[in-house]
Amino acid sequence: MSKNIKIAVGLIYILCLGLILYGFLIFVDVTQLNDYRYIRDKTQFLIEIRDQNLFWFTALFFLFAVIWILLLGFATPIALISGFLFGKIYGTLISVFGFTMGCTILYIFANLYLKNLILEKLSKKIYKFKEIFNKNEFFYFMIFRFAGGGGTPFAIQNLLPVLFNMKVKNYFFSTLIGLFPMVFVLCAIGSGIEKIIENNIDPSFLTIIQNKEILFPILGFFIILIISFILRKIYFKK
């Protein structure tokens, strides 16, 4: 990768991240985030915009999710917000496809321009995964995604297949399927939070725990964690 390309990529990354942070700070007063009424009013504002033009609001959110993943962002907060704004079903579909598109574009870009750097930085640290994935890249990467990357940060998960030249088609569909269960649970939690705010219920810890819209997804979250732990022990032993 040439020096000019590295500089250009770095500048684009900083610019995009700066614009996202700037937009967030304009819309949200961080000093008011402990005020339930302030949060309720802001979320109601977003919901009103969504209802006025659902198509463009959805398209912009989907595009944001793709860009966010390209910027190596965490998937969890976007999935929660997606469930909050679109409900658990549509929120899951929007999030999963957005994350998958972002991950796949990032993988293609990294494979073309960052391969040597990734090989240099990661090959010695996670060489064991390369041996596993070479057996059946689609199946093992799908399990890897479902198992939360075996403890690997999400951004590193997206770049890991560069080490073994995974086919783009296999990368896309294994990511799509592997991310679906956890994203669904997170969107369900986000949807449950939206129901609490919509009904003007005091969001105390006890209220949240007793609400079935949130309690069941949280139980599902812990079930997935247990299954993920078992899968790690079976497929990703050290």
> Higher model confidence: residue 42 or residue 170?
170
Range name among 22-31, 55-64, 88-97, 168-177 with the lowest pLDDT average: 22-31
C-alpha distances out from residue 185 to 50, 132, 149, 178, Å: 22, 28, 17, 13
Residue range 109-159, pLDDT digits in tens: 888 877 777 777 776 666 666 777 777 888 888 888 888 776 778 888 898
Structure tokens, 181: 């269960």
> Higher model confidence: residue 14 or residue 5?
14
Q: What is the DSSP-derived secondary structure letter of residue 135?
A: T
Domain residue spans in the chain? 1-30, 35-235
Q: Which ranges of 35-167 does DSSP label H, i.e. alpha helix?
A: 36-52, 54-70, 76-86, 88-113, 115-122, 127-133, 137-146, 154-159
Most confident of 58-62, 190-194, 209-213: 58-62
> Cβ-count burial of 111 within 10 angstroms (0-12 exposed, 13-18 middle, 19+ buried)?
middle
pLDDT attached to residue 65: 92
Q: What is the DSSP-derived secondary structure letter of residue 199?
A: T
Give the CA count within 13 Å in the CB-facing half-sphere of 185. Answer: 17
C-alpha distances out from residue 51 to 10, 58, 95, 160, Å: 37, 10, 19, 39
Residue range 21-66, pLDDT digits in tens: 777 667 666 566 566 676 677 778 788 888 888 899 999 999 999 9
Range name among 68-77, 97-106, 139-148, 207-216 with the lowest pLDDT average: 207-216
Angle (CA) 138-141-146 rounded to 5° is 120
Task: State how far the Cα of 218 lies from the Cα of 31, in Å rounded to an integer.
Answer: 28
Using the Cα atoms of residue 220, residue 96, residue 128 and residue 126 in order, give the sign of their dihedral.
negative
**Is the pLDDT assigned to residue 1 strictly greater than 60?**
no
Structure tokens, 100: 């998958």
